């Protein structure tokens, strides 16, 4: 099988990873893999079962009852399938985001999801975003980008996004949640959020989407000869 191209985009919540990755994937004709959605699906499952994301015994006992699938529709949109059910929309709440941050700290959960993420990258050219893509999931990724922005800018963007979707969002609450998630995601023992040594860091605080896309395209063009 010919070697596939993989572009890893890591960074904290709200740095603009998914918006950027989705756009780039469309332009380049690659698969977009949103790995946060995979952890959200796991969090959603345990939430339905009434098991706390910190309850390692409960998680260990019931994890075999869970099957997680990724499917792509004709438009290339990623759908999350939990035990045969499409939960793509259900997982997009702040509550599930928080629970995903906690459940993703459990080694048993990360272990279960590792091969599934790697398999997609073995079969397709991908743009994969998350927290540990460049460090753990795809350490040999063709291009690694670390997207970041100040917590305040990220909270502003997230508040706008949630409001646009018709969800209630209070800036101060969103900021607190983002700071809490940053702390959890960077301080866990297994695969914490951190920049890979060979990653290119891009601070998006002062850039708009077009600016970020242009900057990343330049980085990709230098590494990938199409």
Binding stretches for ligand DC (CB under 6 A): 13, 35-36, 39-40, 97, 100-101, 104, 130-133, 181, 185
Nearest partner of 30 among 119, 124, 118, 117, judged by Cα: 124
Judged by beta carbon, residue 161 or residue 203, the one nearer ligand DC is 161
Judged by beta carbon, residue 28 or residue 80, the one nearer ligand DC is 80
Query: Is the backbone of residue 88 left (phi > 0), alpha (psi -120 to 50) or beta?
Result: alpha
Judged by beta carbon, residue 158 or residue 216, the one nearer ligand DC is 158
Min separation Cβ 174 and ligand DC, Å = 12
**188 close to 104: Cβ distance less than 8 angstroms:** yes
Min separation Cβ 121 and ligand DC, Å = 13
Judged by beta carbon, residue 100 or residue 127, the one nearer ligand DC is 100
Min separation Cβ 26 and ligand DC, Å = 19
Judged by beta carbon, residue 49 or residue 183, the one nearer ligand DC is 183
Min separation Cβ 225 and ligand DC, Å = 28
How many whole angstroms separate alpha carbon 117 and alpha carbon 133?
9
């Amino acid at each position: 099988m010919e070697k596939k191209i993989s572009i890893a985009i890591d960074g904290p919540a709200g740095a603009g990873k998914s918006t950027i990755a989705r756009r780039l994937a469309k332009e380049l004709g690659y698969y977009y893999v949103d790995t946060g959605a995979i952890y959200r699906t796991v969090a959603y499952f345990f939430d339905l079962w009434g098991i706390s994301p910190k309850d390692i015994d409960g998680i260990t006992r019931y994890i075999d009852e869970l099957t997680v699938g990724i499917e792509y529709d004709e438009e290339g949109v990623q759908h999350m399938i939990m035990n045969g059910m499409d939960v793509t929309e259900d997982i997009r709440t702040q509550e599930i985001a928080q629970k995903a941050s906690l459940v993703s700290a459990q080694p048993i959960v990360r272990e279960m999801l590792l091969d599934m993420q790697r398999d997609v990258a073995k079969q397709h050219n991908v743009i994969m975003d998350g927290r540990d893509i460049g460090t753990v999931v795809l350490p040999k990724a063709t291009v690694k980008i670390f997207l970041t922005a100040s917590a305040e800018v990220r909270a502003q963007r997230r508040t706008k996004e949630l409001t646009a979707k018709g969800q209630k969002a209070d800036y101060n609450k969103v900021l607190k949640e983002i700071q809490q998630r940053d702390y959890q995601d960077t301080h866990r023992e297994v695969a914490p959020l951190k920049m890979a040594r060979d990653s290119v860091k891009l601070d998006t605080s002062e850039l708009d989407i077009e600016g970020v896309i242009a900057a990343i395209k330049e980085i990709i063009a230098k590494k990938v000869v199409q």
